[in-house]
Chains A and B, each alone.
Chain A
């Protein structure tokens, strides 16, 4: 149980284009999902908290107009990187909060974004 998927697993795009990443909770409903960014050999950096049916809460320093988050249902959240630039290249990981016995976050497998 508590499986989270992400799609795509990797994507290469040209500078200036937009990229959408999907995060799905497969066997549970998640009212809260989280989006992280991870640079090589570094820990996870929380970008935003996504609540179903409401606006996302962004961490300080994260541009909400650049990283658009939509949590349209209890099993799906999307992150759109708009007008991507090479410095946006990174590993993006989502997690979903599961109200199981552990009440903690379960992570997706991550999406590697490369912007040329």
Chain B
């Protein structure tokens, strides 16, 4: 079983739709959770950073962490064509190694 599982998609939605992206993980030591957005041929851009269970909202984006289920989500409201990108979840444990463990990424296309 991989440490982090993420459905690679592709996911295609109409403009204005609510998008739900998810990752599951197996390592209970993971304490910090991130979502990155990566446009084609660009480096990943940090979208959301959370370290506790619950919800965190930033504009149209909401990150949700459920440590008991080892499940994290990213919701995008009122999706726009400019949201079309690959979304990567990443996580790391507290202390020790600073390495991030990434999901494979979900490719999202928002159609106008």
On whether A93 and B32 interact (CB within 8 A), knowing A32-B98, A43-B103, the answer reads no
Q: Interface size (B, Cβ < 8 Å)?
A: 19
Nearest to A44 among chain B residues (CB) is B102
Residues of A within 8 Å of B46, CB to CB, are 2, 102, 104-107
From 80 to 104 in chain B, residues with beta carbon under 8 angstroms from any chain A beta carbon are: 88, 98-100, 102-104
Q: Interface size (A, Cβ < 8 Å)?
A: 25
Determine if A46 is an interface residue (Cβ-Cβ < 8 Å).
Answer: yes
* Residue from A4, A43, A46 in contact with B99 in the complex, judged by beta carbons closer than 8 Å: A46
* Residue from A49, A93, A112 in contact with B44 in the complex, judged by beta carbons closer than 8 Å: A93
Nearest to B89 among chain A residues (CB) is A43
Q: Which residues of B contact A (CB under 8 A)?
A: 8, 32, 34, 36, 41-46, 49, 88, 98-100, 102-105
Q: Which residues of A contact B (CB under 8 A)?
A: 2, 4, 6, 32, 34, 41-44, 46, 49, 91, 93, 95, 97, 102-110, 112
Contact sample, A vs B, 5 pairs, CB 8 Å cutoff? A93-B44, A108-B43, A109-B42, A110-B41, A110-B42
